[in-house]
Chains A and B, each alone.
Chain A
Amino acid sequence: MNRNPEEVPERLPQPMIQRPGPAASMLIRQANVLDPAAGIDGAFDLLIEDGRISELAEAGTLKPGTGTEVVEAEGLHVFPAFFDPHVHLRTPGQEYKEDLETGTRSAAAGGYAGVLAMANTSPPVSSPADIEALRSQAAEQASVPVGFLATVTRDMAGEELTDMAELREAGAVGFTDDGLPIKNPGIMRRALQYQAMCGGTIALHEEDPDLSAGGSMHEGEVSLNLGLRGVPSISESVMISRDAAIAGYENGRIQVQHLSAIESIEAIRRAKADGVLITCEVTPHHLCLTDEAVRDLDASKHKMNPPLRSEADRQALIAALIDGTIDCIATDHAPHSVDEKEVPYEAANMGVTGLETAFSSIYTELVLPGVLSLELVIEKLGCGGIPFDIEPFSVAENSVANLCLVDLDAEWVVGEDGYESRSTNSWCAGETLKGRVLMTLANGQVAYRLRSFSMGVA
Chain B
Amino acid sequence: MKHLLTIEDLDRDQVETLLDRADSFAEVTRRDIKKVPTLRGQTVVTLFYESSTRTSSSFELAAKRLSADVVSVKASGSSVDKGESLKDTVETLSAYDPAAIVIRHPYAGAAQMLTRWVGASVINAGDGMHQHPSQALLDVFTLRNRLGSLEGKNIWIVGDVLHSRVARSNIAAFQLMGASVTVCGPPTLIPRGIEASGCRVRHSLDELEQADVVYLLRMQRERMGENFVPSIREYARLFQVNGRRLGPRQLVMHPGPVNRGVEIGSDVIDSDRSLIADQVTSGLAVRMAILYELLTRTDDAVEQSPPDGPVPIGEPA
Partner among B105, B109, B168 whose Cβ is within 8 Å of the Cβ of A297: B109
Contact A342 B87 (CB under 8 A): yes
Are A344 and B105 in contact, CB atoms less than 8 angstroms apart? yes
Give Cα A220 to B197, complex, Å: 12
Residue of B113, B165, B192, B196 touching A344 (CB-CB under 8 A):
B113
Chain B's closest residue to A213 (CB) is B226
Chain B: residues with Cβ within 8 Å of the partner, total of 23
Within 8 Å CB of B218, what residues of A?
A: none
Interface members, chain B 46-95 (any A CB < 8 Å) = 85-87
Q: Does A346 contact B (CB under 8 A)?
A: yes
Pull 27 A–B residue pairs with CB atoms less than 8 Å apart, ordered by A: A220-B193, A221-B193, A221-B196, A224-B197, A225-B197, A226-B108, A226-B109, A227-B128, A227-B129, A227-B130, A228-B108, A228-B129, A228-B130, A229-B129, A230-B192, A297-B109, A297-B113, A339-B85, A343-B85, A343-B86, A344-B105, A344-B109, A344-B113, A345-B109, A346-B107, A346-B108, A347-B107
For chain A, which range describes its interface: under 10, 10 to 19, 20 to 34, or 35 or more residues? 10 to 19
CB distance from A230 to the nearest CB of B (A): 8
Task: Please name all residues of chain B whose beta carbon is closer than 8 Å to the beta carbon of A84 when the two chains form the complex.
Answer: none
Q: Is B191 positioned at the interface, with any CB of A under 8 Å from its CB?
A: yes
In the complex, residue of chain B having the shortest beta-carbon distance to the beta carbon of A217: B108
Determine whether A35 belongs to the interface, using a CB cutoff of 8 Å to chain B.
no
Residues of A within 8 A of B86 (CB): 343-344
Rounded to whole Å, the gap between the CB of B92 and the closest CB of chain A is 16
Query: Contact check: which of A221, A226, A343, A347 meets B130 at CB < 8 Å?
Result: A226
Chain B at the A interface: SS class: mixed
**Count of chain A to chain B residue pairs whose CB atoms are closer than 8 Å in the complex:** 57
Contact surface of A with B, Cβ cutoff 8 Å: 219-221, 224-230, 297, 339, 342-347
In contact, A219 and B192 (Cβ under 8 angstroms): yes
Is the CB of B18 closer than 8 A to any CB of chain A? no
Q: B193 contacts A344, CB within 8 Å?
A: no
Evaluate whether A228 and B128 lie within 8 angstroms (CB atoms) in the complex, with A297-B109, A343-B86 already known: yes
Are A224 and B109 within 8 A (Cβ)? no
Q: Given the complex of chains A and B, what is the CA–CA distance between A344 and B105 in angstroms?
A: 9
Residues of A within 8 A of B110 (CB): 344
Instruction: Report the separation of the CA atoms of residues A297 and B127 in the bound assembly, to the nearest whole angstrom.
Output: 12
**Cβ contacts under 8 Å, A297 to chain B:** 108-109, 112-113
Which chain B residues lie closer than 8 Å to A220 at the CB level? 193
CA distance A343 to B110 in the complex (A): 8
Q: How far is the CA of A189 from the CA of B87 in the complex (A)?
A: 46
Produce 1/0 per residue, B99-111, CB < 8 A to A: 0000001011110
**Nearest CB of chain A from residue B141's CB, rounded to whole Å:** 23
Q: How far is the CA of A221 from the CA of B168 in the complex (A)?
A: 12
Known A-B contacts: A226-B108, A344-B108, A345-B108. Give 12 more (CB < 8 A).
A219-B192, A221-B196, A225-B168, A227-B128, A228-B108, A228-B129, A228-B130, A230-B192, A297-B108, A343-B87, A344-B110, A346-B128
Cα of A221 to Cα of B108 in the assembled complex, Å: 15
CB distance from B190 to the nearest CB of A (A): 10
B115 to chain A, nearest CB (A): 11
How far is it, in angstroms, between the C-alpha of A275 and the C-alpha of B113 when the chains are bound?
49
Cα A343 to Cα B168 in complex, Å, equals 23
Chain A residue at minimal CB-CB distance from B113: A344
A226 to B194, CA, bound (A): 12
Q: How far is the CA of A411 from the CA of B129 in the complex (A)?
A: 40
* B191 / chain A contacts, CB cutoff of 8 Å: 224
**Closest chain A CB from B157 CB (angstroms):** 14
CA distance A442 to B113 in the complex (A): 41
Q: Which of A227, A229, A345, A347 contacts B131 (CB 8 A)?
A: A227
Q: Which residues of B126-173 have CB atoms within 8 Å of chain A's CB atoms?
A: 127-131, 165, 168
